[in-house]
Amino acid sequence: MALAKKEWFSEWFNSPYYHILYKHRDFEEAENFIDNLQETLKFVEGQTALDLGCGRGRHAFYMHKKGLNVTGIDLSEENIAFASKSEDETLHFFVHDMRNVFAENHFDYIFNLFTSFGYFDEENDNIQAIKAASTALRPKGRMVLDFFNTEKVIRNLQQKNEAIIDGIQFNISRMVYEGWIIKDIKIKDGSSELHFQERVKGVKREEFENYFKFAGLKILNLYGNYELQPFESESDRMIFILEKENYN
């Protein structure tokens, strides 16, 4: 199977089919996750937060409801256009590439949730994204990075499945290729046939630890699910709680 072209996410995340395929995503689960993070991090009303790779804003909206002054950034113009309809004085959204510094020493918290990382072809781009996030944090600010448990995903990879949503047929196949977890998505919508790929770098725990060290981020905790239970080899997620150690 041929690999997708570089910057595959620019096209796919702006496609209406992306939102149709993933419209089942659980808002209640997202809100419970934020509730658990608030209990752990003790964030309070008026503190500043950056939702890094915010999508259509489901996490950002609830953080805002909890009293945080939230900025959401995403590369998808369509996502930001949708989220921006709900902007107010303490909730803002911008089209922005996470590899570039958005602000310096500004945010109390940065959230990168639901595997909104690992999309870039070049290893240096992953490092640059983490460094840019660290730069945006205030000293002693906290970052939460939520990624799937790569080793479990690879062990239990479901190779093929089919779904029909709103009368649209999605045929999905998955594979691991040279460290990438690739989802090949073929769509049949009436007489139209389309093809997209998702490519996520299978970043492992040790690689993340190196990224964080390079960016001046200290690991405070590692959790394995949205209930924030300790990470184990069979955990579904790797949820890192990080603290900025130094100025960048």
Which amino acid belongs to residue 170? Answer: F
CA 187 to chain centre: 24
Task: Considering the domain delimited by 8-150+203-244, tell me its CATH architecture.
Answer: 3-Layer(aba) Sandwich (3.40)
What is residue 11's predicted lDDT score, i.e. its pLDDT? Answer: 78
Closest CA to 141 of 114, 104, 116, 113: 104
Give 224's DSSP letter.
S
In the chain, the DSSP E strands lie at 48-52, 69-74, 91-95, 107-112, 137-148, 160-165, 168-177, 180-189, 192-201, 217-223, 237-244
The strands making up 168-177's β-sheet, listed across from edge to edge, are 160-165, 168-177, 180-189, 192-201
What is residue 26's predicted lDDT score, i.e. its pLDDT? Answer: 64
85-93: Cβ within 8 A, 24+ apart: 86/57, 86/61, 90/64, 91/60, 91/61, 91/64, 93/54, 93/57, 93/60
Q: Within 13 Å, how many C-alpha atoms sit on residue 89's CB side?
A: 2
Which residue is associated with the tokens 């009436």?
A: 190
pLDDT string in tens for the chain (248-residue length): 444 444 667 777 778 888 788 777 667 888 999 999 999 999 999 999 999 999 999 999 999 999 999 999 999 898 999 999 999 999 999 999 999 999 999 999 999 999 989 888 889 999 999 999 999 999 999 999 999 999 999 999 989 999 999 999 999 999 999 999 999 999 999 999 999 998 999 999 999 999 999 999 999 999 999 999 999 999 999 999 999 996 54
CA atoms of 143 and 69, how far apart (whole Å): 15
For the chain, which residues make up each domain, given as ranges? 8-150+203-244, 153-199
What is residue 1's predicted lDDT score, i.e. its pLDDT? Answer: 42
